[in-house]
Amino acid sequence: MPDPSLVVFRWAPGRPERTQTYRIEARAGMTVLDALVEIQRSEDPTLAFRYACRVGMCGSCAMVVNGRERWACRTLLASLKTEAVTVRPLYHFPLIRDLVVDLAPFAAKMKAAGAVFVPKAGEETFAPIGRHAKERRQIDAAVECIGCGMCLSACTMVGWDGGFAGPAALNRAFTLLADSRDGAGAERWPLLLSEDALLRCHGQANCTDVCPMELSPADSILKLRRKSIFQLVRSAHRLDTSGARVVA
């Protein structure tokens, strides 16, 4: 296959959107991030993109390559098998410039869904959960989120409803609700049961499809929904002090 070209989305404040095509001399093992760095260093220093670790750990280089969310540092050009490789910024985030998006809304969504650990009052500073505990197994399956934002970009409901908490925040909320050390469950449930959280997910599972850490936010959302049924029943019926069930 001939050397590919990179068709890159360009935008800066006050300028119209456009694409710019760069020819690449592809080397064996060259990634999309390598190609962008080479373009920036040797051809076009104005090209803006974000990266940090370069080894598939931090998620900073998340972008949309050939129509799919990927981390550029782990995406080999050869694996794409196309002569023209399209590169654009993540969807559903405000643009800062070229391939760089503003991740502030991501942090805001996390906060709005109560996706922050709140230690239980009076707990020991270190309250270990054994590695074989059921609780640990539940949490481990969902805990390795690196905050890359790819699941939000892939989620059509995030695009449709800017207020929707989105897959990463709901995934995080799931890990916290499963964690016996967390003390904010009572405050978190009303947020999760509001219009812009669990109800809004349509179960398309694009989030799970693109997550580079192989998490399944869709599965976490499903489990939260199951838990929410108990939550709703519990708030509709409460036990009086003698143990008799009464309707609230």
Positions touching ligand SF4 (CB under 6 A) are: 59, 145-151, 167-168, 171, 211, 213, 215, 217
How far is residue 115's CA from residue 122's CA, in Å, rounded to a whole number? 21
Residue placing its CB nearer to ligand SF4 in the complex, 77 or 145: 145
Residue placing its CB nearer to ligand SF4 in the complex, 26 or 65: 65
Residue placing its CB nearer to ligand SF4 in the complex, 4 or 167: 167
Residue placing its CB nearer to ligand SF4 in the complex, 22 or 71: 71
Least Å distance, CB 201 to ligand SF4, is 13
Least Å distance, CB 172 to ligand SF4, is 8
Least Å distance, CB 212 to ligand SF4, is 6
Output the DSSP codes for 75-133: -BHHHH--SEEEEEPPTTS-EEETTEE--HHHHHHHHHTT-S--BPTT--S-----TTS
Helical packing angle, 167-177 and 104-112, nearest 10°: 40
Q: Which of 51, 62, 152 is CA-nearest to residue 108? A: 152
Least Å distance, CB 216 to ligand SF4, is 9
Residues 6+ apart with CB under 8 A from 74: 31, 56, 212
What phi and psi, each to the nearest 5 degrees, are found at residue 63? -155, 180
**Which is it for strands 95-97 and 100-101: parallel, antiparallel or unpaired?**
antiparallel
- Quick check: 138 and 178 in contact, CB under 8 A? yes
Residue placing its CB nearer to ligand SF4 in the complex, 4 or 149: 149
Q: Which of 176, 166, 178 is CA-nearest to residue 118? A: 176
Residue placing its CB nearer to ligand SF4 in the complex, 168 or 177: 168
Least Å distance, CB 41 to ligand SF4, is 28
- Quick check: 179 and 119 in contact, CB under 8 A? no
Least Å distance, CB 173 to ligand SF4, is 12
